[in-house]
Amino acid sequence: MALEIAGISPRRLAARMVAGIDGPLLALSLALVALGLATLFSASFENPGRVSAQLANLAVALTAMWLVAQIPPQTLMRFAVPAYLCGVALLIAVALAGDVVNGARRWLHLGVTRFQPSEMMKLALPLMLAWYFHRNEADLRLRDFAIATLLLAVPVLLIARQPDLGTAVLVAAAGCYVIFFAGVGWKVLAALGVLGLASLVPLWGMLHDYQRRRILTLIDPTQDPLGAGYHTIQSTIAVGSGGLTGKGWLHGTQTHLEFIPERHTDFIFAVFSEEFGLIGNAALLVLYTLLIARGLMIAANAATFFARLVAASITLIFFTYAFVNMGMVSGILPVVGVPLPFLSYGGTALMTLFIGIGILMSIHSHRRLVQT
Amino acid sequence: MNLGELKNHEKELHFFQLRIGFAGFAVLAAFALLFARFFHLQVLQHDTYASKAEENRISIVPIAPNRGLILDRNGVVLARNYSAYTLEIFPARVKDLENTIQALAELVEIQAKDRSRFRKLHAEVRNAESLPIRTRLSDEEVARFAANRYRFPGVDIKARLFRQYPYGDIASHVVGYIGRINHKDQEKLAELEVEANYRGTDYIGKGGLEASYQQELHGTTGFEQVEIDAGGRGIRTLARTPAQAGNNVTLTLDIRLQEIAEAAFGRRRGALVALEPATGGVLAFVSKPGFDPNLFVDGIDPASWAELNNSPDRPLTNRAIAGIYPPGSTFKPYMAMAALELGKRTQKSAINDPGYFEFGGRRFRDSKKGGHGHVDLYNSIVKSSDTFYYQLANDMGIDAIAGFMGKFGFGAKTGIDLEGEALGVLPSPEWKHKRFRRPEQQKWYAGETISIGIGQGYNAYTPIQLAMALATLAANGDMYRPHLASYIDDQRTGERRHIQPALVRRVALNPDNVEFVKRAMAGVNREGTGARAFGSAEYTSGGKTGTAQVIGMKQGEKYDEAKVSERHRDHSLFIVFAPVENPRIALAVIVENGGFGARAAAPIARTVLDYYLLGKVPADDSAGAAANGDEEESD
C-alpha cells in the first residue's frame, strides 16, 4: 500500500487502518485536492480562513470515505431503497415547506442547520437504479427500463421544479449512466435521445427567466455584461489571458483584482487556469482522466452487477462534474451551479465526492469475495 | 451455476466491458474537446484575452443614485438627503479591527455607540465593501485623518449621502425609514431581478413609504469606468454614466394637519386616520407613539434599538394599519344601516329600553343604568342605546351582520400603499370555525351575536378600516382604496404620474337610508354624545362615539403585569365626517385606554376638523383641557 501511517502505530493497526483503501484512487483525489487548496489560497487572499476551513472539510470527508470503504457492497445495496425513498420524501418536504433562497426552494430546515436533499440524490439515485437492475438481472426487459426511467424522473422533476436545473441535470445524468450500463439497447437509447431533445421545447417554457437568460447569454455574453454575462466574460478572459504557462501562482490579475465572481466555488477553475495556464489545465485533465480510468477499471472488475453499475455511474459522475464545470468556465456550456470536483471550496460537495470514492474503494476491495 | 448461465454471465460481462470502453472513449473525446477549447483560448486567442485582462485594469464602479424625496401635499419635504463625510473601514483589508479602531479613536471621536453599531453591521451585512465606523465627521476631523491616512491601510474617508427626516417622529409611521441592505433584502432584490441596479446601494426602505415606494425612490445606478492600479486603487476616471436620481413621491397628506393631530394626542397612545371620501386620499395618518426615523439612517445603535423594541408602548407598531381594536359603539351606524337595508327595522322602529336585554337567561346590560326608555332608531344612534342594538343583532343573526359589514370593508385589508396591514376580525361562524381548534370552541353560539351588535365580542378592526368604512358611508356607498401617495414625479421622463382614485366597489344603498343614518350621526354631534366636543362647531358634522372594552378582548399583545390595570382601561373611539352635506373629510380616531369616546377621542377629532375645514390652529393645551371632562358622560 502506498499510504503510510506515521510509522508510530503497530503494524497490525496500520494494516487495519488502510484495509480497503485503494492507493491510486486516494493519491489521485488527494492530488486534485492539493491543487484545489493551492488555488483556494490564491483566490481567498482577502479571507485566508477559507483554506483552513476547507482542510477541516477535507478531514471530515476523508473520514466518511474511510468509513464507507469498510462497508461491503452487499450492505450498501441494502441502503439503496431506504436512501432513495428518504431522499424523495425529503424532496417533497422541500417542495412543500422548504426555505426559499435566491428564488429557489432548495433547502430544508433541520433545527439548527439547513440541508439540501437534492445533494443526497446524487448518490441515492444511482444506488437505487443499480439495486433495481441487480434484482432483475437475469431477465431485463424493456419494461424494467421503463420503470427505471420512472424512478429517475420523480426526483429529477422534483429538483428541476425547485428550480435547480444544474443539480437536476447531474442527478439525471447519474441515473442515465446506470440505465446505459445496465444494457439498454442502442435503439432504445437513440429513441430516448430524440425524446429528450424533443422535450427541450416544453422545458424551455417551464424555465424561469433567469435560467433562460443564462442560456441566451451563453450565445452572446455581451448582451448582459453587468448581469448574467459577467461571469462568462470575466472567466473566459481569465482562462485566455493565462496563456501557455499561466501568470504564476498568486499572480492572476483577474483573480486578485476581484473580477472573477464566485472564485472560491464554482469558478475556481478560472483562477487555476489563469495562474497555471494551458500546461496546468493539461495536468488537471490528465489527473481527472487517470481518476476516471481507475474508476472504470474498478467497475469492469467488480464482482456483482450492482457493484459494476454503481462503480461505473459514480465514475462518470466525476467526469460529468469536471466536464460541465470546466466547460462553463471556459464559455462553452451555460452557467449552472456545478462545482469542480475536489477543487471547489465547500464541505457538502467534498463530502459527496469522497463518499463516492469510498464506494469505489469498497467495490474494489470486495471484487473477488463473491465470485469464489 | 450451470454452463448456460455461466456463458450468459460471461456474455453479459463482455457486453458491460464494451460499454465501459465506449464510456472511456466518450470521456477522452469530451476532454479532448475541452483541451481544444483551452488551446483556442490560451494559445490562439491568448493575445486578445491578455489585452482584455490588461484592459480589465479598468474597473466599473457603480454610482449610487440619489434617493427620491418624499413631500407632503403642499411640497413640504418629509424625507431628504444631505451629504456628509464618513470614516469607513474595509473589513476585508484590515487585519486587526479592534486595534485599528482603537488607533482611529485617537484621531476622531469614536463612541461606544459607534463601536457597537459597527460590530452589528459587520455581523449583519454581507458583501459589504466598506462599513462606517463614524458618520458625519467634522471638517477638522477629516483633516486630521487625512494627515494620518498612510497609517491606516483599509480605512478611508467617503462622502456619502444621508437620509434625513426633518420632522423627526411626526408622521414617522407614514414616512418610515431606511436601513442597511441585509441578507433578507438581498434575497428579495434577487427575486425581483434588480440586483444589478443595487450595486453600490447600501440602503433600502425598511418601513412606511420608504419601503412601499422603494422601487420608485431608488433611481437608476450609474457607472464610472475607473482605471485602477495593480493594487486595485483607482487612478483616474475614464468615462462616466451618471446615475438617475430616484423619483419624488408627493403625498395626499398635509403635514400641518398631521402635526396638529399628533399634538392633540399629547402623550397618549392611539391612532388616527383621516381620509378624503371622494378619492381615498389620506389627509392625516397618526400612530402614537412614533419614533425618530433619523435614528435608523446610519444604522441604529443597539441601545436605542432595544429601547424602541422593548418599550411597552410599542412605538414601532403602526397602530393605524396593524393595531386591531373593537369598534365599540362606532359600529352602531352601520348596524342601523344594515337593519334598514335588510328590512329588519324601519326609520320609525322604536323599543322600550329597560336598561338591559335578556337572552337565554342572561342579562346584557346597557351602559346607561336604567336604560334610555323609549328609543327609536334615530335616538338609538344619537344616545347610543346598547339595548336597541342587542335586540337588533339578535333579530338579524350573525350571517346577515357579517355579510353586510363585509361590504363596508370590515375585516379585510384596505390595500393602502403601506406594508404590514392587519386583517382584523369580522366575526362569523366560518371565521370562528377556522380560528379555533376544539369543536366546542368552533361552534357559534347565538348569545355571541348579541354583543357583536354594539361593536364588542369578537369584533376587531384596524383604524384604517374604520376610516374607510366611514368614508364609504360619507360618499353614499362609493368605496375608494386609501392611498398616501398623490403623484410621482418621474425624474427620467419628467412626467408626473398621478395616483388615480381607485374605486374598490359601489355599495348599493338606498339613498333614503343613507340620508337617515347621516342625519342621526349629525344628531350625535348636535345633541347627543358628541355634542360636548362638536356642539360649538361652525360647520356641520356627523359623528359617533365609541368605547371599547379591553378586558375580555384578548386579541392583542400581552401587557406588562405591573401596568395591567391602567392598560385595561377602555379604549376611546370617535368617527366623524364633515360637512354633512358634502363630506370633505372622514376620520376615525382611537385613544388607547382613553376611557369614554366622547371624552378623549372626540376633542382630538374636533381639533383636526377645525384646522382642516377652517384653518384654525388650536391654542396650546386645548386638547388636554378637553380631555378632562366629567365621568358621567354616556357613550
CA distance B376 to B470: 22
Among A151-160, B50-59, B396-405, B410-419, the minimum mean pLDDT is found in B50-59
Nearest residue, CB atoms, A285 vs list B35, B56, B59:
B35
- A243–B43 CB contact, under 8 Å: yes
Backbone angles phi, psi at B159, to 5 degrees: -95, 120
Return the pLDDT at B597: 66
What's the confidence (pLDDT) of residue A216? 72
pLDDT for res B274: 96
Q: Inspect the interface and report whether the beta carbons of B187 and A278 lie closer than 8 Å.
A: no
- B329 among known catalytic residues: yes
Determine contact, residues B523/B530, Cβ cutoff 8 Å: no
Give the C-alpha separation, B525 to B544, whole Å. Answer: 8
Contact between residue B632 and residue B625 where contact means Cβ atoms under 8 Å apart: no
Chain B contacts of A103, Cβ < 8 Å?
187, 190-191
What lies within 8 Å, CB to CB, of A195 at 6+ separation is: none
- Which of A241, A258, A285, A332 would best serve as a mutation to test chain B binding (most B beta carbons within 10 A)? A241
State how far the Cα of A102 lies from the Cα of B30, in Å rounded to an integer.
32
Report residue B624's pLDDT band, with 50, 70 and 90 as the boundaries: very low
Cell of B317: 407598531
Interface residue A332 vs chain B (CB under 8 A): yes
The residue of chain A nearest to residue B30, with distances taken between CA atoms, is: A323
Angle A142-160/A117-135 helices, nearest 10 degrees? 180
Of residues A188, A343, A193, A182, the one with CA closest to residue A273: A343
In the predicted model, is pLDDT for residue B633 greater than 60?
no
Residue B17: is its pLDDT beyond 70?
yes
Given a cut of 50, whether residue B629 has pLDDT beyond it is no
pLDDT of residue B625: 41
Q: Which domains does chain B have, with CATH numbers?
A: 60-148+155-251 (3.90.1310.10), 255-310+323-489+497-626 (3.40.710.10)
What average pLDDT score do residues B233-240 get?
71
User: Does a cis peptide bond (omega within 30 degrees of 0) precede residue B618?
Assistant: no
Which residue in B17, B38, B46 is closest to A300 by CB distance? B17
**Spatial CA neighbour of B75 closest among B294, B276, B251, B213:** B251
pLDDT at A81: 94
pLDDT of residue A20: 84
- pLDDT, position B553: 36
Q: What is the torsional sign of CA B505, B511, B513, B517?
A: positive
pLDDT at site B556 = 41
Q: State yes or no: pLDDT of B287 exceeds 50.
A: yes
Question: Which grid coordinates belong to A318?
Answer: 466525476
Strand partners, B251: B485
**How do residues B85-117 score in pLDDT, each as one tens digit?**
888 888 777 778 888 888 888 888 888 888 888
* pLDDT, position B623: 45
- Which residues, at least 6 apart from B424, have a Cβ–Cβ distance to it below 8 Å? B324, B410, B411, B412, B460, B461, B462, B465
Q: In terms of pTM, does the model score above 0.80?
A: no
Cα B487 to Cα B495: distance, rounded to the nearest angstrom:
10
Contacts of residue B173, defined as CB under 8 A and 6 or more positions apart, other chains included, come to: B207, B208, B285, B286, B287, B290, B318, B319, B320
Q: Is the pLDDT of residue B131 over 90?
A: no
Name the minimum distance, in Å, from the CA of A14 to any CA of chain B: 34
CB contact under 8 A, B37 and A327: yes
Residues B204, B297 contacting (CB under 8 angstroms) = no
Q: State which residues of chain A have pLDDT below 70.
A: 1-10, 46, 98-115, 210-211, 214-215, 217-228, 257-258, 369-372
Q: Is the pLDDT of residue B172 over 70?
A: yes
The helix (H) or strand (E) run that includes residue B86 is strand B77-89
A97: amino acid identity, one letter: A
Q: What mean pLDDT value characterizes chain B?
A: 86
Q: Which residues on A lie below 8 Å from B19 (Cβ)? A: 180-181, 183, 312
CA angle A281, A287, A292 (to 5 degrees): 125
Q: CB–CB of B53 and A254 under 8 A?
A: yes
Chain A residue with Cα closest to B192: A103
Q: Which cell goes with B192? A: 425581483
Interface test with A, best of B16, B33, B94 (most A CBs within 10 A): B16
Query: Can you tell me whether residue B481 is helix, strand or coil?
Result: coil
- The phi-psi region of residue B540 (left if phi > 0; otherwise alpha if psi is between -120 and 50; otherwise beta) is beta
**Could you report the per-residue pLDDT of B522-552, keeping only the tens digit for each?**
999 999 999 999 988 899 999 999 988 875 4
Residue A257 phi/psi, 5° resolution? Answer: -90, 10
CA distance A230 to A213: 12
Cell of B503: 374605486
Hey, are the CB atoms on A289 and B31 less than 8 Å from each other? yes
Distance CA B23, CA A197 (A): 21
Q: What is the mean pLDDT of residues B376-391?
A: 92
Q: Kindly state the average pLDDT of the residues B439-444.
A: 86
Look at B31 and A243 and tell me if their CB atoms are within 8 Å.
no
- Model confidence at B372, pLDDT cuts 50, 70, 90, reads confident
Q: Over B279-298, what HEC string results?
A: CCEEEEEEEECCCCCHHHHC
* C-alpha dist (Å) from residue A349 to A162, A344, B350: 19, 8, 79
Nearest chain B CA: its distance from A293 CA (Å): 7
For residue range B291-326, list pLDDT tens digits in order. Answer: 999 988 877 878 888 888 888 889 999 999 999 999
As to burial, measured by CB atoms within 10 angstroms (0-12 exposed, 13-18 middle, 19+ buried), residue B581 is: exposed
Cβ-nearest to B37 among A234, A300, A332? A332
**Could you tell me the sign of the dihedral formed by the alpha carbons of A228, A230, A236, A238, in that order?**
negative
Which residues of chain A lie closer than 8 angstroms to B34, CB-CB? 285, 323, 326-327, 330
Task: State the DSSP code for B65.
Answer: P
Quick: pLDDT tens for B560-598: 444 546 677 888 999 999 899 999 999 999 999 887 767
Q: What's the grid cell of residue B575? A: 368617527
The per-residue pLDDT for B228 is 65
Q: What is the pLDDT at residue B137?
A: 87
A44 residue type, one letter: S
Count how many pairs of residues, chain A against chain B, have C-beta atoms within 8 Å: 131
H/E run at residue A90: helix A73-97
In this predicted structure, the answer to whether residue B559 has a pLDDT above a threshold of 80 is: no
Show which of residues 193-252 on chain A sit within 8 Å of chain B, judged by CB atoms. 209-210, 226-227, 234, 236-244
pLDDT > 50? residue B234:
yes
What percent of chain B lies above the pLDDT cut of 90?
49
ipTM: 0.91
Beta-strand relationship, B496-498 and B234-241: unpaired
Please enumerate in sequence order all residues whose Cβ is within 8 A of that of B171, keeping only pairs 6 or more positions apart, or say none.
B78, B253, B255, B258, B262, B285, B290
Query: How many Å apart are CA A284 and CA A57, to the nearest integer?
Result: 22
Q: What is the mean pLDDT of residues B183-191?
A: 82
| List of long-range contacts for A79-86, beta carbons under 8 Å, 24+ apart | A79/A127, A80/A124, A80/A127, A80/A128, A80/A130, A80/A131, A81/A128, A81/A131, A83/A120, A83/A123, A83/A124, A83/A127, A83/A128, A84/A124, A84/A125, A84/A127, A84/A128, A84/A151, A84/A155, A86/A120, A86/A124
